[in-house]
Amino acid sequence: MSLLRIEKLEARHGLLVAVRDISLDVAQGETVALVGANGAGKTTLLRTLAGVHPVAGGRIVYDGKDISAVPADQRVAAGLALVPEGRRLFSTMTVEENLLVARSAKRTGRWTLETVLEAFPQLKPKLKAAAGTLSGGQQQATAIGRALMTNPRVLLLDEVSLGLSPLAVQGVYESLRTLMGKGTEHGTTVILVEQDLQRTFEVADRIVCMLEGRVVASGRSGEMTRDQVMAYYFGHRAPAAHEGAST
């Protein structure tokens, strides 16, 4: 059984349908990358899964339970955590305070302050620094670390490398490899939005291409090429009948 099942999901911004008729199964330990141009609905989909954007149609089933109407804080307590675009840290609080605030989820597991600092060693010398004074890469590491402190079963990552230097991106992804199970049942399940296709192919088990709020193609990363993904990205290729279905 899938850990997370999305069934004919729809989400709106007023009268605008941002996510339409999306069905997708995500297995425990799988890393799924959402790719598509700006406005494709990727961020809205993640926010809807996290409970910070309402479901307009369809449903979200997590661990066998329909959570479509469950509030965001209860989803965090159940094991879904979102790292939003822009990171959304408490800028005047220290790195340590930003990390420890996540303990309010009251979930136990492998992720503690100590294990997060092992995964993101670049944060150790910055623990007492205000989050607003950090570099972009350090802020992203703090945001991911804060989400991990909730001990999620599903981690939703929005625009991991946006605005970061190549060196910072490398550091963040090296740390992420410690939690991405790469298809094993023991790893954290990850759904990420990433514009860097090279990184996408390196870390994702499966790539889901979105266009105008719909899934237009989905396949294992080893079975898709960069050119194929780019064609879907810009809408240059009409999907076959089987494409866009849940896998």
| Phi (first) and psi of residue 89, to 5 degrees | -80, 160
Mean pLDDT taken over the chain: 88
53 domain residue, yes or no? yes
Three-state DSSP state, 58? strand
Domain extent for 125: 4-233
- Percent of residues in the chain assigned helix, strand, coil, to nearest 5: 35, 25, 40
- Model confidence at 33, in pLDDT bands (50, 70, 90)? very high
pLDDT at 93: 96
Question: Quick check: 139 pLDDT over 50?
Answer: yes
pTM score, whole prediction:
0.88
The predicted-structure confidence for 78-137, as pLDDT tens digits, reads as follows: 999 999 876 789 899 999 999 999 888 888 888 999 999 988 888 999 999 999 999 988
244 domain residue, yes or no? no
247 domain residue, yes or no? no
Q: Using an 8 Å Cβ cutoff, are 207 and 224 in contact?
A: yes
More confident residue, 51 or 179: 51
246 domain residue, yes or no? no
Domain CATH for 123: 3.40.50.300
Total domains in the chain come to: 1
Containing H/E element for 189?
A: strand 189-193
178 domain residue, yes or no? yes
180 domain residue, yes or no? yes
121 domain residue, yes or no? yes
245 domain residue, yes or no? no
Please state which of the ranges 82-91, 102-111, 168-177, 231-240 shows the lowest mean pLDDT.
231-240
